[in-house]
Amino acid sequence: MRILLAEDDSVLADGLTRSLRQSGYVTDCVNNGMAADTALSTQDFDLLILDLGLPKMSGLDVLKRLRARNSHLPVLILTAADSIEQRVRGLDLGADDYMAKPFSLYELEARVRALTRRGAGGGPTMISHGPLNFDQIGRIAYINDQVIDLSAREVGLLEVLLQRTGRLVSKDQLVDHLCEWGEEVSNNAIEVYVHRLRKKIEVGGIRIATVRGLGYCLEKFNAPNSL
């Protein structure tokens, strides 16, 4: 799950980024509206956390331009506690939720979870694939009710594949979803992550198929015929 945070308060931005990364979200941060608009028009994200008081281009203008491109990206706006007019305008322009500063990190993360679920179609918090279950809130995977020991990168990889079961996911798409700006991740590194995850879930009969030169696919699970 990849988040763009647009916030010009460096202390708040650093705290939010750290908190979101510790929760397993790939998080990129920009400190002005023009940078946010450029990032949103050239890259894919699963959620935008948008401060309305950005320099160079206001948060409202960033939101307006995003919706003008027919993007349905979930947007959580951050506003000053007394800016009721801005909150209303932001919601009217297509924001999905808002939080007034100061706010609780605990509450913000709960809203992030709700919005990312909504962006994925409002699906359940638990994704199942045969005996494999993935809790999108706790970010924990189970096979036959046994917890699988996964690294943060493996959790992200599994989530991407589960959300696209039966569909091909290219290495470039995996890099986009799993890596933050400035990270140098090679195709060989992606292959290593896939190999490690494959070994951990094959015990439950879950297969990650490799389509040479194209990418990977979590195969549809066919339960064995009962006697």
- pLDDT tens for the chain, 227 residues long, are 789 999 999 999 999 998 888 877 888 999 999 999 999 999 888 899 999 989 999 999 999 999 999 999 999 998 876 678 878 888 888 999 988 888 888 888 888 888 877 655 445 577 888 899 988 777 889 998 899 999 888 888 898 888 888 888 888 888 777 776 656 677 778 889 899 999 999 888 889 999 888 889 888 666 554 33
Enumerate domains of the chain plus CATH numbers.
2-119 (3.40.50.2300), 126-218 (1.10.10.10)
Tell me the pLDDT tens digit for each residue of 1-42: 789 999 999 999 999 998 888 877 888 999 999 999 999 999
- 3-state SS track over the chain: CEEEEECCCHHHHHHHHHHHHHCCCEEEEECCHHHHHHHHHHCCCCEEEEECCCCCCCHHHHHHHHHHCCCCCCEEEEEECCCHHHHHHHHHCCCCEEEEECCCHHHHHHHHHHHHHHHCCCCCCEEEECCEEEECCCCEEEECCEECCCCHHHHHHHHHHHHCCCCCECHHHHHHHHCCCCCCCCHHHHHHHHHHHHHHHHHHCCCEEEECCCEEEECCCCCCCCC
